[in-house]
C-alpha cells in the first residue's frame, strides 16, 4: 500500500514521567519512520519541560520534528519545532507570530470543514481532523472519509487523520490523508512498536 502513502505522525503518551517515556519512545522511533512527534500538553510546567527536553533529544537524533499541544512559550523555551493547537483556527496567527515563519503550526479542527478552512487561511502548516472512529471521548460527530476525500481534492494544506483509528479505518483513509496520527492506539500495549506494526499497512 505504498501508493499515495501517508506519513506516520506519532502522539506521545500522556501523563507519563520523563524517565518512563524515554525507552518507550526510543523503541517506537527506532522501529518506524516517523515524520512528526506530538507531545500532549497536560501536566505541570516543570514536568512538561522535562518531557520536552527528553523527547526533543530523542526525536531530533532521529531527524523527527517535535511539536507540543498549545504551549507556545514552552515550544520556544525548549527548542521544539512548533505547536499543535487543539482549539482550531483561533490561535494560528498568534502562534505563527510568536514562533516565526519556520515553525510548525498545526490545528485540530474536529470534523469541521469550515474550521479547517479557517485554519488553513490563517497560515496553519497542517489541519487535523478526528476522531475518525467511534469513541465516547470528546464531542461531535466523527470525521468521515468524505471529509478527507474532499480536503485532499480541494485544499493544498496537508491533512492529518487522528483519533479512534484501527487497521480497517487506516486502510480506508490511506490514500486521502497526508499524515495518520497514532498514539493512544498503541501505548497500552506491552510492546507499542509491535502494536504499531499491526496497524500500519506494509
Beta-bridge partners for 39: 68
CA dihedral 183, 68, 142, 121 (to 10 degrees): -140
Is 7-199 a domain of CATH 3.40.50.300? no
Greatest CA separation for the chain:
44
Q: The whole model's pTM is what?
A: 0.96
Segments in the chain forming alpha helices (H): 18-31, 45-60, 72-77, 92-99, 113-122, 145-154, 167-173, 184-187, 192-199
Mean pLDDT of 41-54: 94
Angle among Cα 161, 145, 164 to the nearest 5 degrees reads: 45
Nearest-angstrom CA–CA distance, 69 and 54? 16
Least confident of 12-16, 37-41, 84-88, 190-194: 12-16
Q: Specify whether the CB–CB gap between 104 and 81 falls below 8 A.
A: yes
pLDDT for position 92: 98
- pLDDT of 192 higher than 90: yes
Q: CB-based contacts of 162: which residues, under 8 Å, 6+ apart?
A: 9, 11, 108, 128, 129, 130, 131, 132, 180, 181, 182
Q: What digits encode the pLDDT tens for the residues 151-186? A: 999 999 999 999 999 999 999 999 999 999 999 999
Q: Which of 163, 122, 167 is nearest to 143 (CA)?
A: 163
Taking all residues of the chain, what is their mean pLDDT, rounded to a whole number? Answer: 95
Q: Specify whether the CB–CB gap between 150 and 118 falls below 8 A.
A: no
Amino acid at each position: 500500500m505504498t501508493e499515495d502513502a501517508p506519513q506516520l505522525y506519532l502522539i506521545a503518551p500522556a501523563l507519563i514521567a520523563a524517565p518512563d517515556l524515554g525507552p518507550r519512545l526510543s523503541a517506537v522511533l527506532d522501529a518506524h519512520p516517523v515524520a512528526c512527534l506530538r507531545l500532549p500538553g497536560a501536566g505541570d510546567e516543570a514536568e512538561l519541560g522535562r518531557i520536552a527536553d527528553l523527547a526533543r533529544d530523542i526525536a531530533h537524533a532521529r531527524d523527527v520534528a517535535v511539536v507540543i499541544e498549545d504551549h507556545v512559550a514552552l515550544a520556544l523555551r525548549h527548542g521544539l519545532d512548533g505547536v499543535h493547537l487543539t482549539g482550531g483556527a483561533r490561535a494560528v496567527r498568534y502562534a505563527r507570530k510568536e514562533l516565526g515563519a519556520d515553525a510548525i503550526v498545526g490545528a485540530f479542527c474536529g470534523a469541521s470543514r469550515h474550521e479547517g478552512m479557517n485554519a488553513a487561511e490563517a497560515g496553519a502548516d497542517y489541519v487535523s481532523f478526528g476522531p475518525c472512529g467511534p469513541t465516547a471521548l470528546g464531542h461531535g460527530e466523527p470525521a468521515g472519509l468524505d471529509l478527507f476525500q474532499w480536503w485532499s481534492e480541494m485544499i493544498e494544506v496537508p491533512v492529518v487523520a487522528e483519533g479512534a483509528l484501527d487497521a480497517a479505518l487506516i486502510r480506508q483513509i490511506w490514500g486521502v490523508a497526508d499524515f495518520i496520527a497514532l498514539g493512544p492506539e498503541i501505548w497500552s500495549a506491552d510492546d507499542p512498536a509491535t502494536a504499531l506494526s499491526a496497524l500500519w499497512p506494509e
